[in-house]
């Protein structure tokens, strides 16, 4: 399986070690890549989101999952079930928008929209959480003791 995490903007230096750890842990389970997309440069949030939407929609494959505060709240076990349903050579993209969120057309093009919390989270923190949850999903599939209930 090929997984990509498409993120608008750069990661946080403070979270880089955490992300690196989970990036390495994911290697046995999937061909995994983080792709950083440029942030919009416009002065107005609406225009920035439009610039970022072009980048997202150019890079994201069909069937991508968008992380958005308006999305469905799923338990880790449901993430695992979703990954397990993918074919062995499938490519699945996860998308994290920029600090202003995403344009409506990105939301419309997404196959699914998931939320991590009812809280509004900084997109750099969302990136770290998503990495850990993808790893957790694979450990659930494998019956690994990492996921404790």
Distances (CA, A) of 39 to 28, 75, 96: 31, 30, 12
Q: Is 57 annotated as a binding residue?
A: no
Q: Is 125 annotated as a binding residue?
A: no
Q: Is 118 annotated as a binding residue?
A: yes
Q: Is 117 annotated as a binding residue?
A: yes
Q: Is 92 annotated as a binding residue?
A: no
φ and ψ at 28, to 5 degrees?
-65, -20
Strand order in the sheet with 91-96: 31-37, 2-8, 91-96, 65-73, 112-115
Q: Is 116 annotated as a binding residue?
A: yes
- Contacts of residue 13, defined as CB under 8 A and 6 or more positions apart, other chains included, come to none
Q: Is 40 annotated as a binding residue?
A: no
Residues tagged in the binding site annotation for S-adenosyl-L-methionine: 97, 116-121
Residues tagged in the binding site annotation: 97, 116-121
């Amino acid at each position: 399986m090929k997984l990509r995490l498409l993120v608008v903007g750069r990661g946080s230096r403070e979270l880089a070690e955490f992300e690196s750890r989970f990036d390495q842990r994911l290697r046995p389970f999937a061909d995994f890549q983080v792709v950083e997309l440029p942030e919009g440069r416009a002065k107005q949030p609406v225009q920035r989101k439009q610039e970022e939407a072009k980048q997202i929609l150019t890079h994201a494959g069909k069937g991508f999952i968008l992380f958005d505060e308006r999305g469905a709240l799923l338990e880790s076990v449901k993430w695992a079930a979703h990954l397990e349903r993918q074919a062995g050579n499938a490519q699945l993209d996860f998308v994290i928008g920029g600090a202003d969120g995403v344009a409506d057309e990105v939301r419309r093009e997404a196959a699914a929209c998931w939320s991590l919390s009812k809280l509004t989270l900084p997109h750099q923190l969302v990136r770290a959480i998503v990495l850990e949850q993808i790893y957790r999903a694979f450990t659930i599939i494998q019956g690994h003791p990492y996921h404790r209930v």
